[in-house]
Amino acid sequence: MTTRISRDELAARIAQDIPEGAVMNLGIGAPTLVANFLPAGLEAILHTENGMLGMGPEPQPDRIDPDLINAGKQPVTELDGTAYFHHADSFAMMRGGHLDVCVLGAFQVSERGDLANWSTGAADSIPAVGGAMDLAIGARRVYVMTDLFTRSGESKLVRDCSYPLTGVGCVTRIYTDHAIFDVTPTGLAVIELFGDNTVSELSTLTGLDLEDATRDADDKELA
Amino acid sequence: MISKLRNSVDEAVSGIADGAVVMIGGFGRAGQPVELIDALLAQGATDLTVINNNAGNGDTGLAALLAARRVRRIICSFPRQSDSHVFDALYRAGEIELELVPQGNLAERIRAAGAGIGAFFTPSGFGTALAEGKETRDIDGRPYVLENALRADVALVSAYRADRWGNLVYRKTARNFGPIMAAAATTTIVQVDEVVELGGLDPETVVTPGIYVNRVVAVGERAWLRDGEFVGAASVEGAAS
């Protein structure tokens, strides 16, 4: 019985939902994988919050330019059509609702779409927020990419976040290794299941009331 | 004749006082004005408040200023990095104060100061620990947090080329905080690879007009450039490889 897809498979699944012409920001870590799976021929523009639209892939080792990095401070390249701008403009683009999509990681997402992804609140940790709070409230569609459960088996989808919040009610959709969830006014709705997962099992495992909004559910209603 | 040119980095940073609020440009190492920071280290000002996106990388530049115990307080968005060991140790020992600001709010607070705006309402951070105690307001059905402008006594900025009036152009993502910090400080000090003749910069491409700049010093070409062209063979740390 298969109940999980790999991180690459999840990145590929998210990439299918990026529309032609989208301007998007991929958060540091797993979300950057989405760029590897964008369909050939799709023209989408990557934004990096340190001040660039039109970001290209990692350079060959002998072409690393220390003046050309992404938000994760990794070397990148510029594509034809690239524009550079200062930091206040870069975040104005976000805050002003000009970005179509951002993909972010998460520690927890609440059933109302609250996001916690910047701090575990541990007493000895050094806090660092970066652009997480601006991204969370800025893009028109905020996608979360995450495992559904922590290593110790706790659900990352929760009634209320126990970790410090990044943004309130800001998440549009959650792509997990078990299923895809939409945030709706009445709670979380499962729109797609991976492997042998069922909505009722996921409801039990997460402890949440999940609406079945999968295509199968439509078929059942029609029948 | 107007000339903002200085002959050395030491001359460029002279007069920075103890207790000064100092903005330092750069995002990670890109655009970090390393030569000016080294000069500030030699100049001796202490008890500084530093505004930067990060809190130093490795042991050079801003990290070296921190290691020399010259910074009392740092205002930044992302202090914790894989190579921020100098800051991490000072913070854990309670020997440096930290004001953590969401990156976009940090940038906009700096921009606001340069534009004469006292404060602004922003949606970023609303409902989070970083907005605790701040005034909030509902505007057209959306919640906002009041953030104050952030100004400085001095800004240290790295740009690519300048003329003697202080007009600046930058290079790629090294621009980052340069233009907004240049406008937000009483005294803006800029290091550039190269100073060109007045008229040598295309007016259509000037990013920071000289009105925001007080002192300019040329520090020579970056290791990965020759005559302004990328020649490669550099690591992301900016060292020849």
Q: Which of A134, A161, A166, A168 to mutate to test the interface with B (most CBs of B within 10 A)?
A: A134
CATH of the domain spanning A7-33+97-222, picked from 3.40.1080.10, 1.10.20.140, 3.30.980.10, 3.40.50.280: 3.40.1080.10
Query: What does the pLDDT look like over B150-184, one tens digit per residue?
Result: 999 999 999 999 999 999 999 999 999 999 999 99
* Each residue's pLDDT tens digit, A101-112: 999 999 999 999
Is A192 one of the catalytic residues? no
The angle subtended at Cα B45 by Cα B40 and Cα B50, nearest 5°, is 75
B179 closest CA partner among B77, B20, B27: B27
Strands B152-162 and B21-24: parallel
If you count them, how many residues does chain B have?
Answer: 241
Tracing tokens 């970083």 back to the chain, one arrives at B130
Find the closest chain B residue to A137 by CA distance: B124
Radius of gyration of chain B (CA): 18
The residue annotated as part of the active site, out of A43, A49, A111, A154, is A49
Q: What is the chain B residue with the closest CA to A86?
A: B176
| Interface touch A73/B129, C-beta < 8 Å | no
- A126 to B233: CB separation less than 8 angstroms, yes or no: no
User: How close is the nearest chain B Cα to the Cα of A177, in Å?
Assistant: 28
Q: Mutation target for A interface from B24, B74, B128, B222: give the one with most A CBs within 10 A.
A: B128
Superfamily designation of domain B18-100+153-216: Glutaconate Coenzyme A-transferase (3.40.1080.10)
Nearest to A91 by CA among A53, A134, A132: A134
Six-digit token string for B197: 């003749």
B213 touches B184 (CB < 8 A): no
What confidence score (pLDDT) does residue B200 get? 98
Q: What are phi and psi of B112, to 5 degrees?
A: -60, -45
Judge: B77–A130 Cβ closer than 8 Å, yes or no.
yes
Residue B224: both structure tokens together: 């990965």
Report DSSP letters for B114-161, one per residue: HTT--EEEESTTTTSGGGTT--EEEETTEEEEEEE---EEEEEEEEEE
pLDDT cut 90: percent of chain B above it: 88
Decide if A51 and B176 are in contact by the 8 Å CB cutoff.
Answer: yes
Taking CB atoms and an 8 Å cutoff, what residues of chain B touch A119? 129
Q: Taking the CB of residue B9, how many other CB atoms lie within 10 A of it?
A: 24
Q: Which two tokens stand for residue B217?
A: 């010093």
Distance to chain B for A6, nearest Cα, Å: 26
The whole-angstrom separation of Cα A79 and Cα A77 is: 7
- Looking at every residue in chain A, the average pLDDT score rounds to 94
- In angstroms, what separates the C-alpha of B241 from chain A's closest C-alpha? 9
The complex's ipTM works out to 0.95
pLDDT tens for each residue of B93-149:
999 999 999 999 999 999 999 999 999 999 999 999 999 999 999 999 999 999 999
How far does the CA of residue A74 sit from the closest CA of chain B (Å)?
7
The SS3 assignment for A107 reads: coil
d(CA B210, CA B165): 5
- In this prediction, residue A169 carries a pLDDT of 97
Over residues B42-79, the pLDDT tens digits come to 999 999 999 999 999 899 999 999 999 999 999 999 99
**Residue keyed to tokens 């809190």:** B55
**Residue B4 vs residues A219, B74, B117, B165: alpha-carbon distances, Å:** 74, 29, 27, 6
Q: Which of A51, A64, A133 sits opposite B128 (nearest CB)?
A: A133
pLDDT digits 0-9 by tens, A146-200: 999 999 999 999 999 999 999 999 999 999 999 999 999 999 999 999 999 999 9
